[in-house]
Structure 1
């Protein structure tokens, strides 16, 4: 029996080999394998690389689901940035839970949202590989999250609120910012508003759409709870009446007079925040802020949290705040509603001990 000839080659960091009775046969088989690899037509099995499986999995189970480009991009960002460099070259069947746990542990100290999304991608990839019988066990089953930072959304301080209200009197984005503060709506929901949605007869703003994050497209809210009516705050009403436009005109527009998109929303917030910074005493040189004094973590979502804080201080029931904020799950509202500011705590104790607060809460006589 004659000797077989073996030929090998590397492609994308992976070794391919083929054997044949002649050099031509071995070379031909190797060329076919390399061509198949380049076309991504590797045999779907536990022997395929994690990288090959990710491409197949995403194309089969994610791309056809109608997810937004931002959602699909999240999978690529987490995979290419954090998973591929560590295990992309490994065979699917060789991946153990310790490999995946190390990937998560390396992200300790980063935001909770980031590590949760990273774990989600790992779970979805490997649980599908297990369901598809490509691997005997799912290594992502019991992954534990490392210590992570909670989200930075917070309420405005009293000083920040005072400056915001002052800047909003004259800034072009003032009405947009005040609407976020006084309604608690999401920035994307405000951007989707037409004047027909502002019901002055019933003193309500009707929310039924939102600007899709990362795009300029207006679409329905993520959940049914997003469709709601928000009564117009008395401090907001005169500003809305003064700016009133045609029923199908957008309520909020950018510099070009068109509906806000993700870019123009960002510009409106950044110019407004810059004006607040200067108002608070930032050092400016040649029209450029050279020493900022405003907090880095002040974002548009802080206005939504401030609305929830204001509701808590006013004693608005949690369930009512849930509907105003458009949360499908009341636990989401409760997480925002857990405020520890002194005024709320003292008011709560006053209710408990019957004192009514400072000075016993009773009118002084004599």
Structure 2
């Protein structure tokens, strides 16, 4: 009886199992009808999926299927993110759009530096943002920009482009953040001595240079940047509050501020205040400012000139006279006092009598 039952079970297995296998195979082939894969291809893919995802140790069928579905879902999401990107040139265009409210100088630098990168690295413009690595970014900066100061500025601009791309979901992170910041040795900008200040002001008051005098006074006694003073109009001077308003569109950094001026400096400026109903819209600096300003400096005996020396002169004499770092920081438009104290203020060798004489010149 036992032998008979065993034979019957064996016969049933030999008949039913192949039928079940054929049914599974037929169903699988029907599911794969629209795809160019064979059952062997699918079996190999499943083995690669299980082995590559660490599922080999999972023995239960239900648990293994759940594991595979989770891996497939994560892979689909990663593939979607990997294809959601734009080219570097499109990311630059979006950066300029997003930062359209920044100063003209900032936008000019973004255009200039990124165009130079795309010119000197021909395939950069079309390169997908998501594909770029920290090594790629470092290589671009090293190839295009020779001096450490240029690379430092270019790194900041490139980082800004990647930050915009990251916020848009066009890259997984900002690879520029891991690029070493080039070390720049700043050359000390020594403030003008009192005799140099006197010579400069005397020259500015000469008839042929008097249209430039108001701008010189604002740079020297307000610490206003050369770039900013060129964009100011007389309407930006608040005579009642005793200050000059630097609007965001006029500022180098894109942030507005109020620069206080002493009563004596305001009185000095009033002597150059134009007449007429439209005077509020008149620019403080005359047309052809750059040429006139160079000519004034040359006439005053300056053979060489550092761009921000009047700003440094103001900061140094202000610090030596008033010892008010908070007020000076606000006037200079710095976010913190570190840059002010490490780069702008140089009071070594400036005597107290020179400091008093500097402020008395504006009295």
What's the TM-score, normalizing by structure 2? 0.58
- SS of match in other structure, 1:208: strand
Q: Which residue of 2 aligns with 1:72?
A: 107
- Distance, in Å, in 1 between the alignment partners of 2:348 and 2:125 is 51
CA spacing shift, 1:45–1:103, aligned 2, 3 Å: same
Aligned match for 1:166, one of 202, 226, 235: 202
1:298 to 2:310 alignment: no
- SS of match in other structure, 1:148: coil
- Distance, in Å, in 1 between the alignment partners of 2:296 and 2:278 is 23
- Distance, in Å, in 1 between the alignment partners of 2:340 and 2:191 is 14
1:229 to 2:269 alignment: no
Q: Which residue of 2 aligns with 1:182?
A: 221
Q: Which residue of 2 aligns with 1:118?
A: 154
Q: Which residue of 2 aligns with 1:360?
A: none
Q: How many Å apart are 1:143 and its aligned residue?
A: 0.7
Residues 128-184 of structure 1, C-alpha deviations (whole Å, 9 max, x = no match): 555666556653230112233537755224453242133123122234313321232
1:197 to 2:232 alignment: no
1:259 to 2:266 alignment: no
Q: How many Å apart are 1:116 and its aligned residue?
A: 3.3
Q: Tell me if the contact between 1:195 and 1:245 (Cα under 8 Å) persists in the aligned partners.
A: no
Aligned length: 267
Q: How many Å apart are 1:98 and its aligned residue?
A: 2.1
CA spacing shift, 1:269–1:94, aligned 2, 3 Å: same
CA spacing shift, 1:144–1:244, aligned 2, 3 Å: same
Q: How many Å apart are 1:307 and its aligned residue?
A: 0.9
* 1:33-112 map, 5 Å: 53-68=87-102, 69-86=104-121, 88=124, 91-92=127-128, 94-106=131-143, 110=147, 112=149
Query: Unaligned 5+ residue runs, structure 2?
Result: 1-79, 355-363
Q: Tell me if the contact between 1:100 and 1:139 (Cα under 8 Å) persists in the aligned partners.
A: yes
Q: Which residue of 2 aligns with 1:10?
A: none
Q: Tell me if the contact between 1:208 and 1:221 (Cα under 8 Å) persists in the aligned partners.
A: no
- Distance, in Å, in 2 between the alignment partners of 1:139 and 1:220 is 27
Residues 230-270 of structure 1, C-alpha deviations (whole Å, 9 max, x = no match): 223x4x4664343344486548x9xxxx5257963323322
- Distance, in Å, in 1 between the alignment partners of 2:224 and 2:252 is 14
Aligned match for 2:271, one of 242, 253, 259: 242
Q: How many Å apart are 1:220 and its aligned residue?
A: 12
CA spacing shift, 1:334–1:66, aligned 2, 3 Å: same
Q: Tell me if the contact between 2:166 and 2:173 (Cα under 8 Å) persists in the aligned partners.
A: yes
Aligned match for 2:326, one of 314, 319, 324: 319
- Distance, in Å, in 2 between the alignment partners of 1:108 and 1:99 is 14
CA spacing shift, 1:212–1:260, aligned 2, 3 Å: farther
More strand by share: 1
Q: Which residue of 1 aligns with 2:192?
A: 156
Moved over 6 A (4+): none
CA spacing shift, 1:72–1:317, aligned 2, 3 Å: closer
- Distance, in Å, in 2 between the alignment partners of 1:129 and 1:247 is 50
CA spacing shift, 1:166–1:126, aligned 2, 3 Å: closer
- SS of match in other structure, 2:180: coil
- Distance, in Å, in 2 between the alignment partners of 1:91 and 1:268 is 45
- Distance, in Å, in 1 between the alignment partners of 2:311 and 2:89 is 38
Higher Rg of the two aligned structures: 2
Q: How many Å apart are 1:127 and its aligned residue?
A: 4.8
- Distance, in Å, in 2 between the alignment partners of 1:90 and 1:70 is 26
CA spacing shift, 1:79–1:144, aligned 2, 3 Å: same
CA spacing shift, 1:273–1:337, aligned 2, 3 Å: closer
More helix by share: 2
What's the TM-score, normalizing by structure 1? 0.57
